[in-house]
Copies of this chain bind each other. A is one copy, B any other.
Amino acid sequence: MRKLITAFYLFVVAAGSLAGAVPARAQTDPLPSWNDGAPNKAILDFVARVTKEGGPDFVPVPERIATFDNDGTLWCEMPFYFQMAFAFDRVKALAPQHPEWKTKQPFKALLQGDVKTAATAGEKGLIAIVEATHSGMTVADFETTVLDWLKTARHPRFKRPYDELIYQPMLEVMQYLRANGFKTFIVSGGGMDFMRPWTERIYGIPREQVVGSSGVTQFRLLKDGKSEMFKTAKVDFIDDGPGKPVGINRNIGRRPIISFGNSDGDLQMLQYTTSGSGARLGLYVHHDDAEREYAYDRKSQIGKLDKGLDEAPKWGWPVISMKNDWKTIFPAPK
């Protein structure tokens, strides 16, 4: 027995020397779609600091909370929020059951293909569209319509499924953070029920780590002994602007240590994140790449980034230039 043990140790030592003899494999770049620059350096440095055991900035695993806005941060939001595209398509699909829409705005415009008029119908018009398409059914049925829509709908410019228009560099960031013990959450102004059916598949973020806007739901026990969650038309929570720290407190209960956003709606989330004690990082994605994606900021109707651009340097938040910092925008088509 002793002989075997000795042989085993010899084997281990030999294997070790052998490994030393071959050239060490180059350490894999965790962010291959990022060009070297301030943003990727800030991310890499931050992760190194908070994961260094015994270091001054070490953060225990349970407190490694990372939050990501979705629209414009993890996936494209132009020419208008994808959830709006979904709602418009749903109006068309539901029109046969609503003859009154033929003469009623903003439905009339939508049904005539005049998305611009519909999109500018103001808050009241949009609420009417959301009510008509996002309530009066069960959560499960709603999710089915979302998944069905994703299978067939195509983005007007890129002619690809909407869930392929996600940002490859951000996928790498999320994966890198998770590999370093972070729990990644979505904190989006978009609808929670709209996102949950697909975030696990496309981002690796499970349903319970999706925080978003929501309507009031009701528990209904049915006569056949089954039960369902029913979506009412009443707004429960708007997870945007100052609502984002509230949503974080409500669904996570920990202050994030790193957050990513792209608009003024993410300002308070970044402030909340980076005003805590210890190592903190907030980053803004800046849409400045009209050629490969879109270029918009201070004057945009959607994803407006105005105050945030002024605040970023004051708070020390790196601003990610999609044009200069990202080698790739979207993953290659499947």
Q: Which residue of B lies closest to A1 (CB)?
A: B14
Q: How far is the CA of A46 from the CA of B197 in the complex (A)?
A: 27
A268 nearest CB neighbor, chain B only? B219
Which segment of A74-82, A159-167, A206-214 sits at the interface? A206-214
**Copies of this polypeptide in the complex:** 2
Asked if A11 is an interface residue, CB under 8 A from chain B, the answer is: yes
Task: Assess whether B245 is in contact with A275, with CB atoms less than 8 Å apart.
Answer: no
A5 within 8 A of B: yes
On whether A207 and B242 interact (CB within 8 A), knowing A219-B268, A275-B226, the answer reads no
On whether A217 and B246 interact (CB within 8 A), knowing A208-B252, A253-B207, the answer reads yes
Known: A217-B246, A219-B246, A249-B139. Is A5-B1 also a contact (CB below 8 A)? no
Given A214-B250, A246-B218, A254-B207, A227 contacting B8 (CB threshold 8 A): no
Residues of B within 8 A of A275 (CB): 221, 225-227
B1 with A7: CB separation less than 8 A: no
Instruction: Report A167-208 residues with CB < 8 Å from chain B CB.
Output: 183, 192, 196, 200, 206-208
Out of B225, B242, B252, name the residue touching A219 (CB < 8 Å): B242
Shortest CB–CB separation between residue A282 and chain B, in angstroms? Answer: 12
CB interface residues, A 241-298, toward B, < 8 Å: 242, 244-246, 249-254, 268, 271-272, 275-276
Q: Which residues of B contact A245 (CB under 8 A)?
A: 219, 227, 229
With A8-B8, A11-B5, A229-B246 already in contact, the answer to whether A254 and B219 are too (CB < 8 A) is no
Give bound CA distance, A14 to B7, whole Å.
Answer: 13
Whether A24 sits at the interface, judged by CB under 8 Å, is no
Chain A residues with CB under 8 Å of chain B are 1, 4-5, 7-8, 10-11, 14, 62, 139, 183, 192, 196, 200, 206-208, 210, 214, 216-219, 221, 225-227, 229, 236, 242, 244-246, 249-254, 268, 271-272, 275-276
25 contacts between A and B (CB under 8 A): A4-B7, A4-B10, A4-B11, A4-B14, A7-B10, A7-B11, A8-B11, A62-B206, A139-B249, A192-B250, A196-B253, A207-B252, A208-B251, A208-B252, A210-B253, A217-B246, A217-B249, A217-B250, A219-B244, A219-B272, A227-B271, A227-B275, A227-B276, A229-B249, A250-B251
